[in-house]
Amino acid sequence: MELHNIQPAVGSNKKCKRIGRGTGSGYGGTSTRGHKGAKSRSGYKHKVGFEGGQMPLQRRVPKFGFKNINRVEYKAINLDALEALAAAGATKVTVDDLRSAGLVSKNALVKILGNGALSHALEVEANAFSKTAEAAITAAGGSVVKK
C-alpha cells in the first residue's frame, strides 16, 4: 500500500442525494415530495394530532369519567409485610421503617390492610388502617397509632 493507491473502504462513502437539481439527477421535478398538497410546499408544518382535515382522534373519542381533585391516595401495605418485619426483629413499625425497607416511596401515605396474618405484638404507626387490619393488630397484642 502506498499513498497513491489508498482508497476508502467499500461502502463507507455514499453520494449525497442532490434533491431539486434537475431531471438528470433523478430527484428533480417534485424533488421527492410527491404531487401538490401542503406537504409538497415550503413552510409546511402540521399541528400535533392533525390528520389532514379528518376529525382527529382526540376529538373523535368521547370524554370519560372525572378526576376528583380531593382524592387521597394511599400505598397499601398488608399484614404479611409487617409480619416479615417482625420476624426480622422489629417491635415498632413506623412509616420511616417501611421506607427504609423499600416498601414505600418518599412522600407516600401508608394504609395498612388486613391481608395475611400477624403473630407478633407490634406497635404500628401509619396514616390509615382498615378495620380488619386494626382488629388483627390488636388481637395479636399490638397497638395502632394513626399519624
CA distance 80 to 38: 63
Domains of the chain, by residue range, sit at 74-146
Whole-prediction pTM value?
0.58
At residue 20, the 3 state secondary structure works out as: coil
pLDDT tens digits, one per residue of 120-147? 999 999 999 999 999 999 999 999 999 8
Class of domain 74-146: alpha beta
137 neighbors 143 (Cβ within 8 angstroms): yes
Q: What local confidence, expressed as pLDDT, does residue 95 receive?
A: 94
